[in-house]
Structures are given as C-alpha cells and as structure tokens.
A and B are shown apart, each in its own frame.
Chain A
Amino acid sequence: MSVSGRSSRRRMLGFGAALGGGLLSGNAVSSAADGVPGQLGIPLGPYGERSPFEKVARWRRDTKTPETGSSSTPLQDSVGTITPSSLHYERHHAGIPTLDPAMHRLVIHGMVDRPLSLTMAEIRRLPSVSRTLVLECGGNSGSEWAPKGAPDVQRSFGLVSCSEWTGVPLALVLKEVGIQAGASWVIAEGADACRMARSIPLAKALDNILLAYGQNGEAIRPAQGYPLRLVIPGWEGNANVKWLHSLKLTGQPYMTRDETSKYSDLMPDGKARIFTFQMEAKSVITFPSGGQTLAGTGLYELTGLAWSGRGRIERVEITSDGGRSWVDAELQEPRLPIALTRFRLPWRFEGKEALIASRATDESGYVQPTREALIAVRGTNSGYHFNGIKLWKVQADGTVTNV
C-alpha cells in the first residue's frame, strides 16, 4: 500500500518537473521521470555561480570614459530586500582599483593626538557590528527631473541597493587616536586613481558610521570598496567613500570637487545646496514597471521597494488611478531602519489603462512628495536627490511605460 502510494505521488512530481523543464527550454535536463535514467549534475565547487538560465544584469550608462560612470541594479527583477553583491549598483570616478589587503593601510591623521596607521588585520581585530542598510547614489533618479524620464525602473531608480554591511564603528577607532579640541570634520579619501575625497561632519562620524569590510557575508566586492569603505547610514552614496585609506580630522570642510562641483543641488535662484547628505523617503513599484508586459487580465501581485535615510518605512500606499485614491500595501517584516522594505498588494488588471504609483511614509512622518511638488520648490536643475512619486502607465494591452 504505502509503496504504491509513494510511486504514484512520485509520478505526479516527475510529470510536473518534466513539464516545467520543457517549458523553460527545449533541451533542458529535467529531473528523472519513471523509466528514464537520471543524469548526474555538475560537481561541487569552491565558489558559487548562478544558474546559466539567469541573465539579470546591471545596466551601465554610456560614458566617454568607461572608468567614470554608473551602473544600475536591475530592480525590476529583484526579489526580497537584499541586493546580491554582484548586482549592487556602481558609481566610480576613476575605475575600480585592485588593492592587496595585506598592503592596505588606513591612516588617521590631522587634528588627533596620535596619528595612526592600521592594517586590515588590526581593523578586523576590533569589535564588529553588522547592519542591513540601503545605499543610494545622490544622483539616483536624476533623469526624473527631466520631462521624460528613463524608460524603466532600472535606469530611473536603479542606483540603490541594500546589503548587510559588517565592520567596526568609526567612533571606536576615533577614540583610539585622541580627537583634538576644535576638530569638527573628517576628510575621507579613497585609494582609487582620483583619490576621491569627501568632507564628513565629525558628529556623524562619532554617531553611527561604519568602517566596513564585509558585505553580505563575505569581503566587500572590489566595485564596492574592497578592502575597506565607509558606510554612512542614510547618507548619499558618494559620501560613503570606497577603498578608504585616509581619514584626516580638520576644523573645516575641504570643499572637495565631489561636494561642490558634484552632488550639490542647484536651485532656481542660482544658489546650490551643499552637504545635502541625507536621502529622503522614496519608493517605486518594480512590478509592473516600465518596459514590462502583463500576460493578460487577472490577478497579479503588485510589488516594489521603499526606503528612507531617516529610518523605518511606516507605510506605503498604492494608487492605480493616477493618485486620486490610495490603498495601503502590505509591508514585508522585519522593517529595518534605513533598509530596503518590500511592499506588496494583490492587484487585478482589468484590461483597462491604469496609472499606478507608490507613496512612502517614513517613521519621521515624512511623506514622499510628488514630482510636481519637488519641482515647485527646487526647479528642474538640481540634478540630485530626486525622491518623487513614480507613475507607471499600464496600457490596455498590458504593456507598461514610463509616464
């Protein structure tokens, strides 16, 4: 009895698997069906690779010099809240350096009693913490300031990623060097070719900045700052200096190129906001989103991502009528502060045009504004820090476009 029961169950599973494999690709190897001998898979290996069927990739904005530019995370294909390190967005100013951790030093100098040089081994000896944090480029969604934004969510919102970062609290290391009276800023410099440098208020450095060497359970990827970078919870990506080799304590910001010429927000009156570090609450629907096509009418799970540099996401609302009415989406728990938060909502596509969008509220009570509200205050030339509500148009035939 029990034997025949098992075999019939097995036939059902085998049939399902064979069918699934057949649908995926004509010659894909399916799991063994009755009477067909199984086939051995590939051997075990030292470092994993994804399935050859998976092609999801970053998208790189074309630049005249391939060493400077950005590549965006494929948010439309993301699931859950963690970005694989291999798909983390990139923004570099002079290429990715190849740094030997045995040779790498972090030097802390300037207004300190004991200028200090630390090896990676010494940094790893210090008490560590791990935090899941979103990282967003200050220029993410810059295309949205223009009348016609980018066609899909990867190009318009993809300079945002979320990792578990592991490292040493910077405050702990700064205690070791003896901060002198009058020090109020830290100039952080990377060991990339252009020695990218940013000024960071000392108060933030003593609050919650991480000297990070770990990303998603392993060493930080070269493109993310191997072997050492700053991770500054909630602050624009550029300030999270990668390939960190120098921290200089000073009594003033140094007005480096990347905090004056770049990453400052030009207002309609010609004045530019400087040190606009914090990333504000933002959300976007990743499915259905620009470039995708719905397979027909019926029930779908609408989903997307929300985050805020100010803390937890408290609420995400969804509209399918261009903002006239809103309903609450379900938020995936745990909602970690300053981390990607996945939202979901069952949604029926009736074969009629729909204007869909999400609107996030964070724990400070800040509500994600409309693009129009942002432009009314900041004009269209500020370039950075766009966090407006993103509308997608689902057309009657199921194709989804940028609005």
Chain B
Amino acid sequence: MFSLSVIVLLPAVALAAQQEKYSVGRPATVEQIRGLGAAIAPDGGGLPEGSGTVAAGREVFAARCAKCHGEKAAGDIGPALVGGQGTLATVKPFKTVGSFWPHATTVWDYVNRAMPFNEPGLLKPPEVYAVVAYILSLNGIIGKDQIMDAKTLPKVIMPNRDGFVADPRPDVGVKPAKKK
C-alpha cells in the first residue's frame, strides 16, 4: 500500500514542479524600480528630465570633482577624464572618457550612479547633465554653448563610438572543436 502510493504520487509531484509557478514575491512598485540606479541605455532610454550647460558644469566640477580628478580633470586620486584621443593604436594608449568611451550616455549613467566617489547619488539630474557637458566640452566633443538633456546627450558622437568589436576568442593557440 505504502509503496504503491509513492509510485502514484511521484509523477504528480514531478509534473507540479514542471508546470506550476512558485508564485513567490510581490509585484515590484514603480517607486522601487525608480530607486534602482536608473540605468541609462545608449539610445538615451531612462534619461530623466532636466538639462545642464557647460558653464554650470564647470562649477559642479570645481565643487564636487576637482579635488579628486584635478582642477583640469587631468587625474589625481581619481583617473584622468580628458586627453588621449588618437593614442589607442599606439604603444602607450591613454584611455579616458574622451578617447575611449563609446557613448556619452555611459558618462551620464556612471557619474549618476557612482560619483562623487565618496558621496554617490549626491547630484541631481540637472547637475549630472551639466558636469557631463563640461567633461565632454573639455574633451572637445561638444561646443561650449551646447546644452545637454535627454534629447541631445544620446546624439553626441563620441570619438571612439566605433571602437568596440565582438569577442573573437578562441583566437590564440589550438582552437577547440566547434560545438555541434
């Protein structure tokens, strides 16, 4: 009797595991999702309202960034944020926001989520737009009177926009057989 019931029950249990959902958790709220780093897509998806000028960005930078990145953003405690264009294919490449980063949206996203290093999340969206505009202008990527907002920022053409390629490995040594 006992063993029979086990035999009868087992397939039913297995079936339940395959078809049923565990239905754990609660629906995520809009506020919860908004609180999560606000990841920005390269096409600008996720960028908030607000705008910033290069002039305003110069002030944000002097107040909030210069002590670590240097007054001219040439690097100190934090890495350099200017220079290096034209060096990537040389023996001494100098990778910065200006020379290496493929998307201006990434600068916005990173400054918004991670900077200032010791107080991330401190800046309001207009300040982020402004300081990003300032860094881009320091690199000669945008003009001094360009205004950055959710429309203009994704349209900025970064010098190294086409500098990234897919992973071709295995590229060295004996190649493994291709998967069937």
Contacts and interface: CB of A to CB of B under 8 A. Distances in A.
A141 B17 CA distance: 44
Given A176-B22, A176-B23, A256 B164 contact: no
A93 interface: yes
A364 to B, nearest CB: 3
A195 B22 contact: no
Given A117-B27, A194-B114, A280 B170 contact: yes
A109 B36 CA distance: 10
A374 interface: yes
B100 interface: yes
Given A254-B40, A254-B41, A273 B25 contact: no
Given A117-B29, A272-B165, A381 B93 contact: yes
A255 B109 CA distance: 10
Contact of A255 (B106, B113, B117): B106
B15 to A, nearest CB: 15
A358 to B, nearest CB: 15
> How many B residues touch the partner, as a band?
35 or more
Nearest to A278: B169
Contacts of A250: 41
A270 interface: yes
Interface string A252-281: 101111001100101111111111111010
Nearest to B120: A193
A171 interface: no
A373 B172 contact: yes
Contacts of B170: 280, 366
Given A195-B113, A261-B100, A266 B95 contact: yes
> How many A residues touch the partner, as a band?
35 or more
A364 B176 contact: yes
B77 interface: yes
A119 B114 contact: no
A125 B110 CA distance: 35
A390 B16 CA distance: 52
A376 B163 CA distance: 20
Interface in B164-180: 164-177
A254 to B, nearest CB: 5
A261 B95 contact: yes
Contacts of B5: none
Contact of A94 (B93, B120, B176): B120
7 contacts: A125-B24, A195-B114, A252-B43, A260-B103, A264-B164, A270-B163, A273-B168
Instruction: Enumerate the 4 nearest inter-chain pairs by beta-carbon distance, A residue then B residue, closest first.
Output: A270-B89, A364-B176, A194-B114, A369-B173
Given A65-B78, A254-B40, A373-B172, 6 more contacts: A67-B117, A93-B114, A94-B120, A189-B39, A273-B167, A381-B93
Interface of B: 17, 21-29, 32-33, 36-37, 39-43, 77-78, 88-89, 91, 93, 95, 97, 100-103, 105-106, 109-110, 113-114, 117, 120, 163-177
